[in-house]
A and B are shown apart, each in its own frame.
Chain A
Amino acid sequence: MAIVETTDLTKVYVQDVIGVEYGRIKIRLKGRRVAALQELNLTVNEGEIFGLLGPNGAGKTTAIKIFMGLIFPTEGNARIMGKPLGDRRVKAQIGFLPENPYFYDYLKGWEFLDYYGQLYGMARKTRRAKIDEILEMVGLTHAANLPLRGYSKGMLQRIGLGQALLNDPRIVFLDEPQSGLDPFGRKEMRDIILNLKEEGKTVFFSSHILSDAEMICDRVGILYKGKLINVGYLRDLLSAQIKEYEIVASNLQEEMLKDLEGKCERVIVRKQDVMVCVRQKADAEKIVRTILASPAQLVSYIPRQETLEEYFIRQIEGGGQ
């Protein structure tokens, strides 16, 4: 079931020289137009982890801000849980962690969550219990009575995640949740996201750290210069593309090596081991059979998949122009 659906979602920032806009009434002296998002058509299914990937400035944050009602689309529309954006009942079931969050530094960790709990309309008793639970979950119980001023970046990210989960949301939007975190923090964030999925929540996140996305996403959308280049299940996007076959053999005879050098993409010789790479499956199998028939030993035979990073670069090079 679709939990987020967008049709032709477009956001154009007009850098007005003079501009007044209120609803349909627009008075402006137009300057340069910058399309931050162009006709985004996207569906996110309930219960999946969806990663919106793209380089900086691709429009990821713009898309999330539209979903959160922080900015209004120029054209097109989006529905969350089947309702138009800005619906309070829907907002009550959403969690949101912005990029590089900065929170009220004069509040203590506990006060901060309590304030946000009030904004969710939670009763005092529920709030108390939930806050303790959340602090425990994000590992900040010890810092509950410290002002946020004294929090490290990683701690801020965690308390930020805490406020996003306070209302037990059906869907969580995370904008670059792993940026600025150390490897340990990134792993923790990954574990929390995977846990959320297990609890049946939908996670929508944006990232440019592809290795992290690769590990946790069910589906990804690739955004570049405001356009959605591709979207799909990670395994479909990647496994269709076996990039090359890598064969390693040792104690190969001289004439065989020469023969291979003529046929293969790359041949790398390291002491007695030889690594060769070929594009075609038939060629690879032929080489493997030859090696097996000879006195040389076959060390490994690996069909290498494209990594998300390689796929990503290829997509952008193809679709960006």
Chain B
Amino acid sequence: MLKILAIARNTFKEAVRNRILYILLIFALLIMASSGVISDLTIAAKDKLIKDLGLASISFFGLLIAVFVGIGLVYNEMDKKTIYTIISKPIDRYQFVLGKYGGLLLTVYVMMLIMTAFFLFVIYFQDLVSDETVSAAIGKISEQGIYQAPTVAQYGMYLIQSFFVATGRTMGTLLQLYHSPLTANILAVVGYSCLELAIITAFAILYSTVSSPTLSAIFTVLTFIIGRMSEDIIRYAWRLNEKGLTVALGGKLKYWFVVAAAHVSPNLELFNKRSEAIYKEEVPWDGLAVYYGIVYSAMIILLAIIVFRRRNFK
């Protein structure tokens, strides 16, 4: 166990000393910071847009971090042969896989935490920024009907003002904030996103034990996309089958293939609680999603261990 922790800690160290991580993080924070401005461009449902955009970017950048940081981590060990000295130490190969998975997951979660904290900061406090500053930051339409973009100084003013107002309010409401239903909803959504990323990270590890980083990245992203759609695919296929329209799916064989494939791929839509958080009062506890996430990740990691155990390091 201590050895797994040592490997996980080293993996985390490697990740946080990697520049890509910060580039991704900065992008995520910039998008969230801008969501206030973007939402001012919409006519209605300003709150909903901010929330949707923020929550979507947390989940999306979580995915990007898992893919771009994660895949390099395992592959580099083999490519640069550092794994030679690790495997020859008194550890088992499964400990290596678990350590890598743990370290990567920790990295992803720490980043999620930072993004979530920043996001809460944005949604709570951007309303407090004066309208003039906001409109200056959006830019204006001149009398001739030409859009004039804000100057850097105006935009900077907006960011600085948001920052100070927000910091002041944060101090005051830090304790209340925890109890607010909005915060609870957002944390719930992020929590389910974390489960989703546990599965995706497990896939990233599995793929990178058997193929090159580029292929692994493509596979992982594809898994994510298919996973997000699998529920729809199954539903669509069933509906067609019920109506006797399997011809549209290219015959029975192809129908069963599609259904089987959709079942094997992870059902990631289960973890998407954004609409509940935005349009409903609260995000309900979804026991199925929690167990599904844990069991599915465990199975994929088990598969990665099985593959890794018999691997020759040429």
Contacts and interface: CB of A to CB of B under 8 A. Distances in A.
Interface stretch (B59-67, B281-289, B305-313): B305-313
B84 A98 contact: yes
A70 B80 contact: no
B82 A13 contact: no
Interface string A1-42: 000000000000100000001110000000000000000000
Given A102-B80, A106-B17, A119 B89 contact: yes
Contact of B313 (A65, A94, A106): A65
A233 interface: no
Contacts, number: 80
A119 B91 contact: yes
A96 B90 contact: no
Interface in B1-21: 2-3, 6-7, 10, 13-14, 17-18
A98 B85 contact: yes
A163 B85 contact: yes
Nearest to B313: A70
Given A106-B17, A119-B91, A13 B314 contact: yes
Contacts of A103: 82, 85
B90 A92 contact: yes
B86 interface: yes
Contacts of A320: none
Interface in A38-86: 65, 68-72
Contacts of A160: 85
Contacts of B6: 115, 118-119
B46 to A, nearest CB: 43
Contact of B2 (A92, A121, A163): A121
A116 interface: yes
A125 interface: no
A190 interface: no
A91 interface: yes
Contact of B88 (A21, A68, A102, A107): A68
Interface string A105-129: 0110001000110111100000000
A119 B306 contact: no
A195 to B, nearest CB: 21
Given A102-B81, A104-B10, A71 B90 contact: no
Contact of B310 (A21, A68, A88, A102): A21
A103 to B, nearest CB: 6
Contacts of B89: 91, 116, 119-120
A97 B6 CA distance: 20
Contacts of B276: none
A167 to B, nearest CB: 8
B85 A101 contact: yes
Interface string B195-214: 00000000000000000000
Given A13-B314, A104-B10, A96 B3 contact: no
6 contacts: A22-B307, A68-B84, A71-B312, A91-B89, A96-B88, A98-B81
Interface of A: 13, 21-23, 65, 68-72, 88-89, 91-92, 94, 96-98, 101-104, 106-107, 111, 115-116, 118-121, 160, 163-164
Q: Top 5 closest A-B pairs, CB basis?
A: A118-B6, A92-B90, A91-B90, A71-B312, A68-B88
